[in-house]
Each structure stands twice: as C-alpha cells, then as structure tokens.
Structure 1
C-alpha cells in the first residue's frame, strides 16, 4: 500500500453564486485516523469531494499520494440500480463475466485489476457487514436504508484504496451495524478521514479536525479530548471578549475625562478673552494652540476608539464562530398519573414483537431500541395515532407530538413562520421570532418555504410547534431525532430534552445521544419479544 497523503495548500471553494464556502485551508491528512466535524452547511461534504478529486478547488491546490475512495453521505441509487452498483463493483464484475466468457479485452483486464476472486470477496464483505448472502444483481430498491449503507461500506473495503473518505458512514445503521463499522475501521491500516457527528465513532479517532469560519483546526485525540479543548478555547474566547469590552469601556471613560478637561480649558480661555485681562495677540496664540491641541486629541481619540472597536469585533468573531443554540424556557407540564396505555398487537410486525403491553406514567422517559426493521417506528406511529393497531387499543390522556425521521409533515407550501403562527395564535409575532431565534431559526429561515428547509431546520421547527403551541404537547414521540443535526445542534437538543418536564419516548441507535437524555427505562426488541428494563 502506498503511504497515503492528502494535502490542502491554500484551498478555497466558491458556491455557484460566487459566495465563498471556505477559503485558504491548509492541512495534511495521513495515516492518522481523523474525524472532520463542523456545523451543517459549513462545507464538510464539499471539502471531502475536493479532497477526493471529485470537485476542483476554486483556489489553491490539493496534492494526493495514493488512491482515494470516497463514500457519499446520501445514497441515491438510480432506478434499476443493483447491490453491486451500491458497492461500486458492478463494472469490475461485468468485466469479470466478459473475461470468463472469453469476450473481454484489455480494458476489462485493467478494470478488474487482478481481482479474479471479486465475487467471493464481495460475499465475504457482505457477510462481515451482517448482510445475508445476496446476489450482486439484487435490486437496490429492495434494500432498507441500513442494508444499503452496509453494502456501500462493503464496497469501500473492496476498493483497494490507500485513503478512505467516509461521509456520515453510521447514518441509517442500527446498533449492530455501528459496532460492525467500528470493528472494520479498527482493522483498516490506510489513511482515513471520517466526516461524522457520531460521537462514539469520533471517540475512536486519533485526532479531530474542525472546519469553522476561521478555517481548519486540528485537535489531537478523539471526541472527548476535542470537547475538552473546544470548551477551554470557547471559555478563553469569551473571557477575551469580556476583557476587550471592559478595556473599551474604561478607555472611553478616560477619553471622556480628557475631552472634558480640554473643554474646561477652552471655556477658561473664552472667559479671559471676554474680560480683556490679556493682550489680544496672546489670546489669539493661546486659542490657536488650544484648537490645534483639541484637533490632535480628537484624532488620537478616534484612532484609539477604532482600534478598541476592532479588537472587540475580532474577539466577538471567535466567540460567534462557535456560539451554542440557546434553549428557550419550556412550558410547565401538568401530567396525569397514566399518560398513555397500549395493550395489543402492532401492524406489519412479526411475532413475537407484534404483541406489546405498554403503560407510561407521569414524566416517563423511555428509549426504544432494537435492530432495523424490528418495528420501532411502527410502534411510535401506533402510539401517535398515525397507524391503527392490528388488535387492541391505545389510550392517550395527554396531547402528543410525533416527529418522524423524515419530518414529512413539512412537505408542501407555506413558510416556517406561517406554519408556527398558525399553531401559536396566542403568542405575539415578536415573541415567536425571539424564541425561534434562540433555537437557531433566524429571519431568513422563517421566510423559507417549509419544503425547502434542511433536516435540522425542520426538526427545530417541529419542536417549536410542539412546545410553543397554544396547546403544547405533554408527550414527545421522537424517531431518530439526531439524524439531521450537527454536533452543536445535537448537544442543544440534548440540553432541551433533559430539561423537558413532560413524557418522552425516543427511538435512536445513538447510545451517546440516549445516555445524555437522563432516561429512565429502555424498551428493547429481543428474539423473545419486547423487554423493558432500567436504562
């Protein structure tokens, strides 16, 4: 294997409208297992494509040593695509088939690259990823999101690359799939860059590189070390901002006193001119000198004020680059003894997981866990009244809000502000704008049509609709709420849900996210049925 190396030398990238996405990036990626983090929209995926050579930089250059393979975040196979295409081996397999039939040529030999055992290697990787023995021609449309990601990851290990760039590889993977991915990455010996908000995955990295408006900054160690350094730097930046503001206030007061003394001297000079106690030429000389001195003082004061204002702006920019989302005050929750009860059978779910008896009391906090396809999302839809149970019934004693993975309720016309004003008629628009801004939904976002919002923006709006409505929800049913959020927004969501005083049922494969919510119990899908146990 070639010693892998990717080097950014003054790299910048401009969007189609000419706005800079990032500029003057300088960094080297080698065999160190590196996690790339940053806010949504900051350009992480674009940077991954630039590093892989899929996009040319607008400025600077990228030097590559070794073959690079990039796994995209969004798997969007074309109609009729196959499992082999998801794994990126369809051309090599077609070349192998032609060569075995005696119909191949030099291009097929080059495309196959001596991988005569590719079919066997593909099946071995699929098995290692926890997938059944599926033929390469299996339609991609028949695979679940988790199965499709596992197939694509199998292709990454088969790519014979020197450097892997994986963009959100744990998205759509259940707990077993995530553990399999961690085991596969531990065996990888080439260069590795992982773009992710999966903290368990980031914890296994040798270093974390953060992309922000200030550029790229590398932190040695995994996620915990990065958080420690980030929080220390944030505190230092905030302290420096306060110091600059204090210096500006103190200096402004001193300059004001100097200006007042100058004005007092000028006032005395005018009195002397008025009483005629001094010769006119002496008074004229003193007046000219005083005016010149006052002019120089004003210039010096203006320069000092400008310098201090610049220092405050620079310090503020370092704080603003990593400002956290503010969690707005949540409404008090008055809950009955029994919030929800279900005793029956789930539709579309096979035995023994079809049968379930579930009761939630007071401010219950429950995690629903299990492999993909076991019925977790179906359970939430039944509890929310979106699906009817196959048998039995659901008793709901409080208003609930169901947030599905796609947040499909926001498909369609109407702006974000119009949607929330319709649900929050008792709150003035100014208050709504303030609370939404605290959630990171600014004026530009509020004017955007709902169907054009990002996943993270949809989630924030959905939570605002649930919590700020005239009749707020007392039970939140959340289906993989962290899928669309960057790390800063995920931490803000955790803080919000920890302070939530209503009942909570959350489906997630992210153990770090669940651990941060102060949950009471876990409802887990097992081969023997649903098991409820302390978290």
Structure 2
C-alpha cells in the first residue's frame, strides 16, 4: 500500500528531567493505517506521541518523518483572550486570507493559505457539525465549557491538511453526542491517524494497536477488540508459565534439600570411617581434603541450581504487568443528617435559560448522576454546590463536609507534588502512611517528589482523587466531575471499586454509562432542552 505519511523510530529513548528513564530502545514504523496507542497510566504514551509529532526530542535514537503531522494534546489550556480560530489552530491561515482580501500580494500569505481558500466557511460548517451552533471564529474561548473547547480543538485538527493526525485522549470531556460525532469524523477522514486512548468504542475502527509497557512497544494487528483478545490469551499464557515456574522451584528445592541431606550423610559416614581407619596421618589428611573439595563442589552446584530456579521464576514474573492501582474507601460517619444538600430557587451563573434555574435536594447516601450535553452547566452546578461559585439567586445549603474533584484538578496545582498536596488535605496522617497510600496508586518515591505538571494525565487524576478521598475530615459528600478521564482500564476498575465501597453521598458528572452503572446510581439529574429533569433509578 502506498502511504503518504511515514514516521520511523530507531532505538529511541527518553529520560525525564530528573534523569529517570521512561522508556528506551523503541523502534517503530508508523504508516497511514488508523492506529491506537494504549498502555498503563504513567508509562509514557503522551511523551511518545509528542516525540512522534516532533514536539519533543528523544534522549537517544533517531526519528524520521515523511509527511506533515498534526498533534492535539489531551489538555486544552486556553490563553486569556483567546478566540475560537486560535484554539482551532487555523488563525494564521484566516489572517493570511484576510490580508489577501485586503490586497496583500506577499508570497508567504499565499503559501500559508495553500488550497484552503474556503477555510472560513469550512470552519463554520465544521463547528456546526460539532454541535457548536452560535459559535464562530471570533467567539471568546473563555465563554465555552470544557467539552465545547475540546470540540473546537478537534474540529480544527480535523481541518488540518496533515497526513498524520495524532490525538491524545480526544474523547475526554465529550458528551455522548460529541463522542459519536468524533467517531464519524475519524471514520470519514481517510488519512493516517494515531489515537492515544482507552475509549473502546472510539478504537473500534482502528486497524492496528500499539501497546507501550515497561517491556517496550508491541504491535497488534486488528482493532481494539482483537487486541483485547490477544492480550487475554497472552496473560493466560504468562500466568500458566508463572505457575509452572513456581511448581518447578518448589519441586526443585525439595529435590535439592534431599540432595543436601544425602551429601551431609555421606560426609558424616566418611568422617566416621576415616576416624576408625588404621592409616597413616598423611593419607588420612589427603582423603579428608579430597572429600571436602568434592563436598564443596557439590554444594556449589546445588546453589547454582537453586539460583537458576529462582532466576527462571523472576523472569516469568517480569513478563507480567504492574499491580493494578488500589484506592481505599474513606471511613464516613453514618450519623449524617437525612438531607445533606439543598438547592432552593437557585439560578446558576454563566448558564443560559432554561438551565439556569434549579431546585433539588440530596438525601444521605444518595448516588446522583448528572448528565447532559457539553455546555449545559454541569461543571458550574458542581462548583456552586461546592461553594466555589456563588449563585445568581437563591439559597444553597450544605450540611456535611464535602470534597470536589473538578476537571482542572485544582486540588493538585501543577507546581506542587502529589505528596505535598495530600499532606495539605490530611495533615493528621503521618508521611509514611501518605506515601503508602500513594504507592498503592502506582506512584513511586521519585514520582511523589515530582511537580504534578511532570506526571501523566492519569497519574495527576489518581493523585487528585486521593486528595479528595483521603481528606480530613472525610467527605460525606463527594463531587466528581468526569472522574474517568485519562484513566487506563485498570485504574478505572479501581475507581469503580472504591466508589462502590463509599458510604457517603455521591454526585458524579460523567458520560461513561458503564461507570455509572457499575457504581449503582440511585437518581439522575438530566439537562435537556426544557431544563433540568430529576428522575429516580
């Protein structure tokens, strides 16, 4: 197949600023096939994507590119005063078009425009297709929700003339309609793409899956379903091998112990026979030395065999995956008031009618799912509930301690370490216990001392979640805004487990229906065209 794009990695390694090796000696040929990149949180997927796109330079090795590559990061960081055209990465072309329309004959402007003479109309059409009616190139970005910003960035990325599009967790922050729109657009694009994602429906259409792990980079043909089946078979084979090596070590050690006993018995018999023999001392001394040398050689062989059995087991263990993260459910006092929160004739700020007005009450132990399209005001509702935003009108009553995990992870500032952030949330726990809890989440001693900005998106979310769960006093009302974003499948399973074990009141904004079903929601608050609608489950 003739490819218009090619990216080749040859022996590529990358080290963190503190010298830690994230991955080494990676070799890969990436072509125009739709490809997924998967792996555990913190293994280096985003760094690898940035290397492929030319956003970073490798610590060692070479990267060769043929064709234009466009990269969209998982974190959209709008600049104050930024407009939609800038977020969509088309402002330079639009400015060149504007100058040409005003009479410019500068060759650089014509080169920048290329074939995109109708980009202004094309962008407006793409925004409308993305469900962003009323948004245009000059709309201020700070008036959009997180999901709307992601749609703008994706719409702009899809308009790029690049031969290879690299998207890092593109479905984060998108509602159900947004994810369906993205899947349709990617299917229709017909050019090379690399998706860094664990969104299984989104990865259904890929033709190749790359898995990055501590063992390196592996390639699997087919879509994510084929990859999952292959990995299940591999895990079963590794588990069987580990079991076999354990049995070999156990039986081998039993045989070695019997050989040691026989050697010791033989040596004892030889010593007794030598003591009773009527031979010259010089002959007895020679026999004793030969016997000791023989016994020493036999013991050395036994030790080598025992070490070989242990090495075989360690090699089999090394084929396995790191332990899944473990979250501990906070102990919540059951003696909470029957009603933990009330919204009385509340008007939400920054939200258009009819979704501005809201009345509801939360009972003790309720598990509420908040859903609706991007821009409906779901995150604003949580911030008002948490006291971070004041309502335009009405009364908000909270009768229990609460914790908010927002999409910006404000509890974990970029310059603060995970350990320092957790200490600030719970100064009563000693440092050893805090380190132990973060270690259960997969954060090692080095990562605990790193500024949060140097952690992966999944690691930051896990650390911020720990701050919310392990705070003192324990939160009786837990507010989670898209908690599944950035998490790999193992971390998502750990999140579902701890939320099932949590006995406080839970409010979750999420578009992941599987997550909501797994944690057993008891009510829904749905934003639709007529306003907010409450329904029991």
Mapped to 2, the partners of 1:53 and 1:424 lie a distance apart of 41
| 1:346/1:230 CA distance change after superposition, 3 Å | farther
Paired with 1:260 and 1:364, the residues of 2 have a C-alpha distance of 66
Structure 1 residue runs of 5 or longer lacking an equivalent are none
**How far did residue 531 of structure 1 move?**
1.4
Residue 252 of structure 2 corresponds to 251
Match of 1:378 in 2: 380
Q: What is the CA–CA distance in structure 1 between the aligned matches of 2:162 and 2:414, rounded to whole Å?
A: 43
Q: Secondary structure at the match of 1:274?
A: helix
User: 1:389 deviation in Å?
Assistant: 4.3
Q: Distance in 2 between matches of 1:78 and 1:471?
A: 36
Are positions 1:214 and 2:215 aligned together?
A: yes
**What displacement does 1:86 show?**
2.6
Question: Which residue number in structure 1 is paired with residue 274 of structure 2?
Answer: 273
Equivalent residue, structure 1, for 2:133: 132
CA distance in 1, matches of 2:9, 2:415: 44
CA distance in 1, matches of 2:256, 2:186: 61
The reply on whether 1:187 has 2:188 as its aligned counterpart is: yes
Distance 1:283 1:19, change over 3 A: same
What is the alpha-carbon distance in structure 2 between the residues aligned to residue 467 and residue 115 of structure 1? Answer: 50
Gaps of 5+ in 2: none
Map 1:86-125; keep pairs closer than 5 Å: 86-125=87-126
What is the Cα deviation at residue 438 of structure 1? 2.2
1:403 positional shift: 2.1
Question: Per-residue CA shift, 1:196-236, capped at 9, x if unaligned?
Answer: 23333234433332111111223344444444443443344
Partners of 2:236 and 2:127 in 1: how far apart? Answer: 46
Which is further off, 115-124 or 483-492? 483-492
SS in 2 for 1:482: coil
Distance 2:23 2:444 in 1: 22
* Comparing 477-486 and 217-226, the one that deviates more: 217-226
Per the alignment, residue 409 of structure 2 pairs with 407
Cα distance in 1, alignment partners of residues 35 and 208 from structure 2 = 5
Deviations 1:288-332 (A, max 9, x none): 33223223223322322332232222222222x432112436536
Task: Look up the SS of the partner of 2:516 in the other structure.
Answer: helix
Residues 367 and 507, structure 1, Cα contact 8 Å, conserved in 2: yes
CA 1:432 to 1:50, structure 2 compared with 1: closer, same or farther past 3 Å? closer
SS of 1:107's partner is: helix
Distance 1:419 1:113 in 2: 49
The answer (yes or no) to whether the contact 2:165–2:193 under 8 Å persists in 1 is yes
**Local SS of the residue matching 1:40:** coil
Q: Deviations over 1:177-197 (max 9, x none)?
A: 222211211211111111123
For structure 1, which segment, 403-412 or 457-466, has the greater mean C-alpha deviation from structure 2 after superposition? 457-466
Contact 1:346 1:379 in 2 (8 A): no
TM-score (norm: length of structure 2): 0.86
Q: How many Å apart are 1:77 and its aligned residue? A: 5.3
The answer to whether structure 1 residue 524 and structure 2 residue 522 are counterparts is no
Given the alignment of the two structures, is residue 477 of structure 1 paired with residue 484 of structure 2, yes or no? no
Query: How far apart in 2 are the matches of 1:192 and 1:101?
Result: 36
